[in-house]
Amino acid sequence: MQKNCHQCELCDKPLTDSELLLLDDMLETGYTITVDEKQALFYISGYIASKHPELASSPASSQLSKEVQAFLAEMNRGGLTYPSDNLFTFVVLAHSFSDKLQSIVAGTDLQQYYHSFHLCSTWIFLFPHLPYVVW
């Protein structure tokens, strides 16, 4: 008997129904993060972009909420780097993924889950022109 599963050109192996549910939950969680989390994740994304300028964006091209803009204005000492929208989305999804996994697999080796849920493929999809810099 064969399980129902998803496979696309980005996936190295088929995704099971439970993996698809986890990914769907990640997307929902990514849209419901608190303002404080969003501010922190944007700042972290900017740090990554400062180390990899090809991932940076201009402040004018980012569509940020007023809360995030106010936070960044307080944190900026003149050298703040703004991440691209794709990088910020990736960081939010990675954060959601980590939160979700911690609640599911406490005490288990997380490395196998990171590879099985295709964060690597997501990185390659969002940034096909870049080397594999996150891991």
Q: What residue type is assigned to position 34 of the chain?
A: T
> Residue 133 corresponds to which tokens in the numbers above?
């810099």
Spatial separation of the C-alpha atoms in residues 73 and 91, rounded to whole Å: 21
pLDDT of residue 133: 45
pLDDT value, residue 108: 59
How far is it, in rounded angstroms, from Cα 49 to Cα 81?
6
**Tens of pLDDT along 38-76?**
888 888 998 999 898 888 887 766 667 777 778 777 877
- CA-CA distances (angstroms) from residue 51 to 47, 60, 127? 7, 20, 15
**What is the number of other CB atoms lying within 10 angstroms of the CB of residue 82?**
23
**Confidence class for position 5, pLDDT limits 50, 70, 90:** low
Give the Cα separation of 73 and 114 in Å (integer): 34
pLDDT, one tens digit per residue, over 118-133 is 555 565 555 555 554 4
68-107 pLDDT, tens digit per residue, is 778 777 877 777 888 888 888 888 888 877 777 666 666 5
